[in-house]
Structure 1
Amino acid sequence: MSASTSEVVDDPQAYLDAAGSSSSTPASLRPYYARFKTLHQKKLWYQLTLAVEDFLALPDSQQPPIHIDLYTHFVTKFSAKINQLQLAAIGVRVARQFSDPAKALAFLDDLVITVDSPDAQDAYVYARMEAAHFRLVLGDTDGTKQAMDRCAQILDTFDAVETAVHASFYRVSGDFYKAKAEYANYYKNSLLYLACVNVDTDLADADRVQRAHDLAISALLGDSIYNFGELLLHPILASLASSEHAWLSDLLFAFNAGDIGRFESLAPHLSKEPILSENLPFLRQKVCLMALIESVFRRSSDDRTIAFETIAIETKLPVDEVEHLIMKALSLVLIKGTIDQDAQVARIVWVQPRVLDRRQIEALQNRLRDWCTKVQEVGEFVKNQTPELFITA
């Protein structure tokens, strides 16, 4: 009997003996079956769990249905005796060996039932979110959303949870919002997912490029995303540099700086992404809003009464369209202030906080230096006007 036999074996010891002695079992895996047998006989459940996890990570064990057979004929025999979150993690690995998403879903649905207990809700969330992944693959968006809502409620009750559980929740949630073309929600959940993993070791090269590409698209098309700093500073973006999507990185920097000229020079690339081409009017308005924000941000707090003509020059818009642009920025709470239609000026009292790039930090440093100089000058003026207050004993 081989490790990949389809015959159901009720005796785990017999399965291990058969799998370990089979000529079709890779030589690197055979010692593990003997080790499994010893640990199982000694009831060393923790050590056995670690051995199974090591086995599932071996390159030679990735050939289906090695994981499936091990789980079916062996792991299920002691699953109640081990940490349920580790059991869920083992099950998630096993599910990936099913070529049919429907079978993988059925397998994980059974696992969800197995780990659903009051003291193993982290395992329940992990298994259910991974099952939701396959629901999404199969087009069941309603079932995916139900799982997301239920798991979000459970996660809110935890003081702490393994990062793998959060990573699963945010990854699948991000994929759901990508399928629904909800750019801002995808952007938020995808960045939270990346915060739960090691980008360099947990993601393959192709996955890093795809994730960075999708984040760039969502940042550009998100109707509530007007600060790209968090993405621009994230190491995931570097994966675009050596790919065919390198221009997307340049486009993000152009938007973040409100650089309309740079945007226009990159506009010919938009045809490579039909979804961006289709939304060109929105992108033009967005880069104008970014230019307005940048213009306000560069000014000191006592120099934020800005003429429409000045805004028109900096945003490259006709003067008669400036008021509408300011009203849009006010409605999005990108700025706060008032509009004086008679004087044709905007008085800005607040601008949305931003994650700054190096150039913007240098500009802020210069503004703080100027502020310190002004404070010093005021101090000297007061001192000269009332010298009697500064006489020391």
Structure 2
Amino acid sequence: MISSNIVEMLDKLSLEHPTVSSQLEDIKNNYKESMWHIITDQLYNLTSDAEFDQGGDLVTFFNDFVIKLDTKINELKYIRIAVNCSRQFQNIEEAITFLSNLEEKVKDSIGAQLFLKVSIAEKRLALGQYNECFDLLEEVEGQLKAQNDIDQIVYSELYKTLALYYRRKEKYTEFYQNGLQFLAYTPAEELTEQEKHEWCINMGKAILLGKDIYNIAELLEKEILKSLINTDYEWLYDILKALNTANIDEFEECLRKYEDKINSSEELVKNQNQLEQKIKILAFLDLIFHREKGDRNLDFELIADITRLRVEDVELLVMKSMSLGLVRGTIDQVDQIVRVSWVKPRMLPRDKIKIMSEKLAKWDVQIKQTLELLTQGSE
């Protein structure tokens, strides 16, 4: 049944918020026509609008109007609207209580329940309640593994909050891994330019600071990383590109070019030795990549030349690569040879994909030649 009080409230809000009056007018008209599906999206867009947010009416709007539609609109979208409105609470504990009180209303929708838990976890994180936050996220992650057909927005929100949690804890590798998952589940057009910028900066720095992050191409291949170009953080974009080439000369030239930028970051200065080790390990991995699979016995002198190390330091670099799980093999200390049996798969940049394609084509030719010889021998 259509309520005249709600119609009057929407008219009043239209007068008080002229910048969103057309949205409110559309909502009112669709409310009169019981167009619940259309209203759902309109309500989400309205409560996401910064102009309407400034008025301080979000919570009242939810309690006086949205909550009355709980049986008429999609449960997940209902919770997303509630989360939008909850940001207006000055007291985060009150926001948590507000959201927790909605659990019963979405008991029949697992997706809505999980989204609600993640949203509460995010607010726990804002309060510095790390254990409570992580317990909720771990619970949601476990439940998602047992579910099918859950809207990807739930995964997006989960990995975003996990990434933010690990960033707070300064666990760069976990932050980077979950950040990649967040970006995979989140269409780029749903992020504001500022959000794209912030994620790229933080994930780019995580690559430089994380001790065991070597899948750099996975971030570099994402279009949103280009949001750093022509900004104060273009230096970070250039350093990441240079690091990904595994070319030590190019990387060191880039570091010299942006020395002032690097020195202005206490974290990067503190981790400079680790960064130097990272480019050397990447150069070692690149050396292996360019070798044929049956030709991966590498002598110490060759590795030393490629990685700009003394021969006596090669063994330590190889052992470090092995301890990180990047390569497997054996080290012959007597003959000073590294025999590589396996390399950890990782996403390749476009130039290396071309090399891999050429290798496969060559391998295909070799197989055909072998088959021809076998056929001739059997005749």
Cα separation, 2, equivalents of 1:87 and 1:373: 59
1:100 positional shift: 4.4
Structure 1 residue 232, shift from structure 2 partner: 1.6
- For residues 77 and 207 of structure 2, what CA distance do their matches in structure 1 show? 35
Counterparts of 1:319 and 1:37, CA distance in 2: 76
Aligned equivalent of 1:56: 47
1:195-344 aligned within 5 A: 195-199=184-188, 201-267=189-255, 268=259, 269-344=261-336
SS at match of 1:348: strand
Equivalent residues of 1:64, 1:98 under 8 A apart: no
Amino acid at match of 2:241: F
| Deviation of the 1:171 alpha carbon | 0.8
Are 1:161 and 2:185 counterparts?
Answer: no
Find the aligned partners of 1:16 and 1:52 in 2 and give their Cα distance. 15
Match of 2:179, as an amino acid? Answer: S
Change (3 A) 1:97 1:381: same
- Three-state SS of the structure 2 residue aligned to 1:190 is helix
Match runs of 1:1-393 below 5 Å: 13-21=4-12, 23-26=15-18, 27-28=21-22, 31-32=25-26, 34-35=28-29, 38-39=32-33, 45-46=36-37, 48-53=39-44, 55-56=46-47, 60-111=51-102, 113-115=103-105, 117=107, 119-199=108-188, 201-267=189-255, 268=259, 269-372=261-364, 374-375=366-367, 386=377, 389-390=378-379
How far apart in 2 are the matches of 1:36 and 1:365?
Answer: 56
Q: Residues 72 and 377 (structure 1 numbering): CA distance in 2 closer, same or farther, change over 3 Å? A: closer
CA contact (8 A) 1:32 1:55 kept: no
Going from structure 1 to structure 2, the CA distance change for 1:21 and 1:214 (only over 3 Å counts) comes to: closer
Corresponding residue of 1:4: none
Residues 17 and 300 (structure 1), Cα distance of their counterparts in 2 relative to 1, 3 Å cut: same
TM-superposed deviation, 1:251 = 2.0
The 8 Å contact of residues 108 and 127 in structure 1, kept in 2 or not, is answered as yes
Point out the structure with max Rg over C-alpha: 1
Instruction: Judge conservation of contact 2:17–2:52 (CA < 8 Å) in 1.
Output: no
SS of 1:139 mapped into structure 2? coil
CA distance in 2, matches of 1:294, 1:324: 17
Ranges in structure 1 where 5+ consecutive residues have no aligned partner: 1-10
How much is the aligned-residue C-alpha RMSD, in angstroms?
Answer: 2.7
Aligned-residue offset at 1:312: 0.5
Shift of 1:382: 6.3
SS of 2:341's equivalent in the other structure is: strand
- Which consecutive unaligned segments of at least 5 residues does structure 2 have? none
Deviations 1:15-47 (A, max 9, x none): 5424514743534355356436625xx6x6545
> What CA distance in whole angstroms lies between the structure 2 residues aligned with 1:80 and 1:380?
71
Contact 1:229 1:357 in 2 (8 A): yes
User: Do the aligned partners of residues 301 and 132 (structure 1) sit closer, same or farther apart at CA in structure 2, a change above 3 Å counting?
Assistant: same
Cα displacement (A) at 1:66? 2.8
In percent, how many aligned pairs have the same letter? 28
**Length, aligned pairs only:** 371
SS of the equivalent of 2:298 reads strand
The answer for the alignment partner of 1:6 in structure 2 is none
Cα 1:303–1:100 change in 2 (3 A) is same
The answer (yes or no) to whether the contact 1:12–1:73 under 8 Å persists in 2 is no
Contact 1:260 1:287 in 2 (8 A): yes
Question: Is the CA contact (8 Å cut-off) linking 1:258 and 1:287 kept in structure 2?
Answer: yes
- Structure 1 residue 50 displacement after superposition: 4.5
- TM-score normalised per structure 1: 0.85
Deviation of 1:49 after TM superposition, in Å, equals 3.4
Q: Which amino acid aligns with 1:64?
A: G
Q: CA deviation at 1:295?
A: 0.5
